[in-house]
Amino acid sequence: MTDTWGQDRPAARPSRGPESLPHWPAPIAPLNRPGAFSSGCRKTVTRAFQSPHKAGATSKSHPKSFNATNRIFDMKRILATLSLGLISTVPAGAASLYNTLDGNAPLIIAHRGASGYLPEHTLGGYELALEMGADVIEPDLQMTADGVLVAMHDATLARTTNVEALFSPRNGDYRVSDFTLAEIKSLTVEPTGATASTDYPGFAPSMADPYKVPTFQEVMDLVAAHNAATGAQIGIYPEAKTPNSLAMNRQILQEMKSNGFDGSVPNTFVQTFSHEGARQLAALQTEAGMDNAIAALGYALDLGDGFGVYDATTGEVTALEDLAGFADGLGLYLGYDLDAAFIAAAHELGLSVHGWTFRPRTDEAAWEMFLPWIEAGMDGFFTDYPLRGVEVLQRYEAAEVPVPATLPLMLAGLGGLAALRRRRAAA
């Protein structure tokens, strides 16, 4: 996706709505979270990420201290135990905490990998995102001079690699399409933005050269190996950076199918900013016997008599009803007319909504940024900081655990028992 670092926003607002784009927070420093990561640490139900607490922090569910008598301590412990036990027995079919299209928690989509922490679109960055608990890995795809798909956001190599140092005579914008795979593999991907580096506390990449430009095949190999080793079902979310290229779209789908990403791996999408390209991808998938979700990217607009999405490649607006004819989801900029009403309208048509890009400054800012979109029913978050997204959902679920109807009666009864014990002790 194209945004803050290497961005293709429309020069002027194409239709009605707020006249200014929302404030984009500056990139933030990575969290200092020492300790080793655990593969497959994000659970399907609780989405828990077992990161160490910060020094001096206390868990929300555990009081700092007990100053009462031992008997009162025992009673509080009983109450807490029973409360947790009752909460854990809520039927699996109980109402969902989320207003998403499928009722499941929103997807944490690792935007260009863990690009807020490590160099973007590298195997090291993707691996860190997997360890942090991302649901989906997003590789942008470009084509080399010899026809190999590589993970690279920009059409040129200058912003993210050391190409100028190694190939200074070839200064024709250093386009990816002018370099062979062998030449590109000689480059090193460098950190971009204010927060990425080549090191993350407690994380050691498993590959020898984690910050080289990877091929699409290498990205799929990494995700498939992670899924096989952990039992997870992490999806991929590739984007063809050349809109409407029949040859490129066909090659992307062929490689996905050859690697088992044919619709059988959950949360796997193919995305494009071109709505005509999305239609083309849908037709090519049908032709190939594939069933991955197709995502049309753009900018949400309230048209007065309905909603639509602005296509930045053509300058035209496509109505949601038309998009639902060939797309399964929408990848939308967090601005213009994107709100709960837009998301609800998309859901009515069976379209999921994924927002880009979440880059909050701090943990608390992450909560404040994600929470309104969780409440609005957004289905997925493109974020440079997947750990922050995981932790926000963990915090949200902890705060919103449904309480059984019998719990207040049980607590009242136990409170009466506690009072009786105090009276007997006083006597």
Is residue 347 part of the annotated active site? The answer reads no
Q: What is the mean pLDDT of residues 63-75?
A: 33
Judge whether 356 and 334 are in contact, CB under 8 Å: yes
Q: How confident is the model at residue 172 (pLDDT cuts 50, 70, 90)?
A: confident
pLDDT of amino acid 13: 54
**If DSSP codes are grouped into helix, strand and coil, which group holds residue 226?**
helix
Helices (H) and strands (E) in the chain, counts: 12, 13
Catalytic pick among 121, 153, 275, 354: 153
- pLDDT tens-digit profile of 50-62? 232 223 332 323 2
| CA distances (Å), origin 250, targets 257, 281, 324, 422 | 11, 8, 22, 76
pLDDT of amino acid 416: 56
Q: Cα–Cα–Cα angle for 258, 260, 263, nearest 5°?
A: 115
Query: How deeply is 339 buried, as exposed, middle or buried, from its count of CB atoms within 10 A (0-12, 13-18, 19+)?
Result: middle
- pLDDT tens-digit profile of 89-136? 434 444 689 999 999 999 999 999 999 999 999 999 999 999 999 999
pLDDT of amino acid 34: 29
Nearest to 224 by CA among 130, 152, 288, 143: 130
User: What b/e sequence results for 188-211 when a residue is b if at least 16 CB atoms lie within 10 Å of its CB, and e otherwise?
Assistant: bbebbbebbebebeebebeeeebb
Give the chain's end-to-end CA distance (angstroms, integer): 72
What phi, psi does 219 have (nearest 5°)? -65, -45
Judge whether 408 and 87 are in contact, CB under 8 Å: no
**Pairing outcome for strands 107-111 and 380-383:** parallel
Cα 41 from Cα 232, distance rounded (Å) = 10
- pLDDT tens-digit profile of 380-418? 999 999 999 999 999 999 997 655 544 554 455 545 545
Q: Given a cut of 50, is residue 42 above it in pLDDT? A: no
Nearest to 99 by CA among 293, 305, 341, 394: 341
Judge whether 104 and 203 are in contact, CB under 8 Å: no
Q: Which of 79-88, 295-304, 307-316, 358-367 has the lowest mean pLDDT?
A: 79-88
Q: Given a cut of 50, is residue 181 above it in pLDDT? A: yes
**Whole-number average pLDDT of the chain:** 81
Catalytic pick among 53, 62, 111, 347: 111
Query: How deeply is 145 buried, as exposed, middle or buried, from its count of CB atoms within 10 A (0-12, 13-18, 19+)?
Result: middle
Is residue 62 part of the annotated active site? The answer reads no
pLDDT of amino acid 63: 27
Q: How confident is the model at residue 346 (pLDDT cuts 50, 70, 90)?
A: very high
This prediction's pTM: 0.77
Cβ-Cβ contacts under 8 Å for 22 (sequence gap 6 or more): 334, 335
Q: How confident is the model at residue 84 (pLDDT cuts 50, 70, 90)?
A: very low
- pLDDT tens-digit profile of 224-275? 999 999 999 999 999 999 988 999 999 999 999 999 999 999 999 999 999 9
Q: How confident is the model at residue 1 (pLDDT cuts 50, 70, 90)?
A: low
Domains of the chain: 68-89+409-427 (no CATH), 103-408 (3.20.20.190)
